[in-house]
């Protein structure tokens, strides 16, 4: 059903997909039920000879039940979605791994920069290097990132990671991901950020540790 999404490559991709499938089915079934009920009402209560439309004050228990029973069901399904999202949210947003390479991702009109720590593994030291437009990461390793913007709000989006996070000027937003498949993937901006927003692409290169080290050495 969610086949328009590419195969996930992060360890939390399947959790996001499960959650989206749940929302998809709950909203889908409700939508069909409500539309059929609406259609039924349009036909059953259409204009008839000699019958005048009446205003009903809805002050009886029976008429209130028409509102309160559906509201009760909506609330139950809402809580179901809420309960399922809690574990996904915790995994991605709260239980950030303590270990892993740090990369600072900076969005600007209209591209992405990636600042890597040098050999000392610490950002903002003399041996840092910056890659314009290309983010390289070693496969099967945790990458911790800080998202920053120098101008307007952008959104860092990699469909294969199932990761989409707003980038807000004046803030440094932490996050993480890991990968299980080597390849080149598109990084897009998912927030309308100006005239060339649709051209704001970068690329994510997931490589073996060896290839990543060779690339990093070359950049330095
Ligand atoms: Cu943007």
Between the CA of 1 and the centroid of ligand 1 the distance, in Å, is: 29
Please report the pLDDT score of residue 56 as a whole number: 81
Length of the chain in terms of residues written: 220
Domains contained in the chain, CATH given? 13-94 (no CATH), 101-219 (2.60.40.420)
Please report the pLDDT score of residue 90 as a whole number: 93
Distances (CA, A) of 21 to 18, 28, 64, 161: 5, 10, 33, 17
pLDDT exceeds 60 at position 55: yes
Please report the pLDDT score of residue 1 as a whole number: 54
pLDDT, tens digit, for every residue of 79-138? 999 999 999 999 999 988 988 899 999 999 999 999 999 888 888 888 899 999 999 999
Between the CA of 191 and the centroid of ligand 1 the distance, in Å, is: 6
For the residues 21-45, what does the mean pLDDT come to? 94
Distances (CA, A) of 152 to 92, 111, 155: 24, 12, 10
Between the CA of 190 and the centroid of ligand 1 the distance, in Å, is: 7
Between the CA of 70 and the centroid of ligand 1 the distance, in Å, is: 40
0.95 surpassed by pTM: no
Please report the pLDDT score of residue 2 as a whole number: 64
Between the CA of 176 and the centroid of ligand 1 the distance, in Å, is: 20
Between the CA of 177 and the centroid of ligand 1 the distance, in Å, is: 20
The Cα–Cα gap between 203 and 184 comes to 7
């Amino acid at each position: 059903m969610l086949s328009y999404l590419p195969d996930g490559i992060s360890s939390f991709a399947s959790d996001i997909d499960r959650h989206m499938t749940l929302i998809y089915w709950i909203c889908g079934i409700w939508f069909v039920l409500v539309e059929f009920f609406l259609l039924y009402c349009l036909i059953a209560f259409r204009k008839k000879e000699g019958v005048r439309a009446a205003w009903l004050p809805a002050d009886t228990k029976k008429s209130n039940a028409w509102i309160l029973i559906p509201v009760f069901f909506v609330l139950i399904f809402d809580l179901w979605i809420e309960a399922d999202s809690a574990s996904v949210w915790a995994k991605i947003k709260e239980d950030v791994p303590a270990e892993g390479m740090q990369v600072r991702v900076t969005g600007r009109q209209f591209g992405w920069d990636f600042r890597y720590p040098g050999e000392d593994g610490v950002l903002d030291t003399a041996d840092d290097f910056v890659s314009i437009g290309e983010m390289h990461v070693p496969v099967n390793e945790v990458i911790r990132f800080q998202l920053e913007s120098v101008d307007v709000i952008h959104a860092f989006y990699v469909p294969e990671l199932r990761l989409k996070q707003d980038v807000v000027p004046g803030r440094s937003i932490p996050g993480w991901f890991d990968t299980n498949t080597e390849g080149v993937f598109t990084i897009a901006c998912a927030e309308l950020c100006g005239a060339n927003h649709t051209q704001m692409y970068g690329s994510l290169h997931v490589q073996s540790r060896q290839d990543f080290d060779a690339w990093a050495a070359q950049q330095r």
